[in-house]
């Protein structure tokens, strides 16, 4: 098993439309609510409940070798 660590900009957003909590690691804030689909862009910036631009994302992956036989 291999692990990769990547620094991300983490935000916890409570959407203004339906109150859904979203863990967001994209540098851009969402334009639409991932739960109900409503356009939320102008007001979503004021709905960020937690913001950490030094967060670390750890990704674990199982690497498999492919052997080619002739």
Q: Is 20 inside a domain boundary?
A: yes
**Taking 80 as the threshold, does the pLDDT of residue 68 lie above it?**
no
Residues facing residue 12 across a β-bridge: 23, 50
Look at residue 19 and tell me if it is in a domain. Answer: yes
Q: Write the DSSP symbol of residue 41.
A: H
Domain annotation covers residue 67: no
Tokens of 40: 């939320």
Strand partners, 21: 14
The model's pLDDT over 6-47, given as tens digits with 9 standing for 90+, comes to: 999 999 999 999 999 999 999 999 999 999 999 999 999 999
Number of domains within the chain: 1
Is the pLDDT reported for residue 63 higher than 80?
no
Note down the domain range covering 36. 2-61
pTM, to two decimals: 0.75
Residue 36 lies in a domain: yes
Q: What is the pLDDT of residue 70?
A: 64
């Amino acid at each position: 098993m291999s692990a990769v660590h990547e620094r991300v900009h983490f935000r916890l957003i409570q959407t203004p439309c339906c109150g859904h909590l979203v863990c967001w690691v994209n540098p851009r804030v969402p334009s639409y609510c991932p739960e109900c689909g409503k356009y939320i862009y102008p007001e979503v910036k004021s709905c960020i409940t937690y913001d950490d631009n030094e967060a670390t994302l750890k990704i674990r992956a199982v690497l498999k070798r492919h052997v080619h036989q002739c």
